[in-house]
Amino acid sequence: MRREEIKVTLWGDSARKVDIETIENLPPPVLMVMTSLKVKKKPSNTNHTCIFINPEIPQAEPYKIEFSKATDNIKKLPTPYKQLTAAEVKKVDKTTVRKLNKLNPKEYKNQLVYCKAFISRFSTHDGWWYEGCPQCYKQLTVKKNSDLQVCLDHSVQIPLPCYRVHATIEDPNSEATIKLRGKPAEQLFGITCRDLIDRYPYAPQETLPQEILQTKGQIHIFQIQINEANGFIVKGIFPSTKNQPSASTPAHPMYDKKRSVDKGRRQLFATTPDKKART
């Protein structure tokens, strides 16, 4: 009501559920109510965010009266690059994993490429999360002669757990290693990194939670940015039109070969029933 501006960032499913065309066709003012936002320098949605357009609640009336002026029409801000909808992703040209490996990073550094593949395995050689700066998400370093953790750009910070998961994706002819970070990783695993660590506070870095492991075999369309130093960085994940494979049905014959190996491994973070007490 004070006409102060604040920018809110919506990610993943929450962003895709916002029907921009319908909102633009509604007579002003259009009131949007959002719940469960993550409050920081720029608020963003969480996995539990709900969005309501013009809700029928008493509190909405004062806002409608205040923002009914001609100058209050909806304004669209420019985006840094073209954001594709799920329907547009289905039509976009997709590369194979073999071709993905052959792309020149210098030629594609400012482009996003799309690759349809399934996740076959994960690597834990440097853990699946790191302690990052809550402002820029860069990895924190320990200050010399102290236990304080600092960011090179933002001084001393309280660490924020951030995903850094290395995964191997495959299609029928080849495989490649991708890096899952930030919102795409949260979208894929269905939980924030902080919440997952809170769920398993004593889990070692080398042990992958079941929330991550259960995505093995799933087919997705990966939106990838090619980085000369860091390899293939996933910037977005879209569902495939094919049915997701179940635990009993391999996604691909190549995945089936690995099942005999995986069966012998201990299922991490899985709960087992307590043994019956002796009588």
Domain boundaries, the chain: 12-72, 86-129+163-263
Average pLDDT over residues 245-261: 37
CATH tag, 86-129+163-263? 2.40.50.140
Strand pairing category for 231-239 and 175-181: parallel
Instruction: Return the closest-CA partner of residue 190 out of 48, 85, 87, 36.
Output: 48
Residue 25 has pLDDT above 90, yes or no: no
Could you give the CA distance from residue 169 to residue 220 in angstroms, rounded to a whole number? 10
The answer to which of 117-121, 151-155, 244-248 has the lowest mean pLDDT is 244-248
Neighbours of 171 (CB within 10 A): 21
Could you give the CA distance from residue 177 to residue 112 in angstroms, rounded to a whole number? 16
Instruction: Return the closest-CA partner of residue 228 out of 103, 99, 94, 96.
Output: 103
Give the burial class of 69: count Cβ atoms within 10 A of its Cβ; 0-12 exposed, 13-18 middle, 19 or more buried: exposed
126-166 confidence digits (pLDDT tens) = 889 999 988 888 899 998 888 889 998 888 888 989 999 99
The answer to which of 54-68, 153-167, 246-260 has the lowest mean pLDDT is 246-260
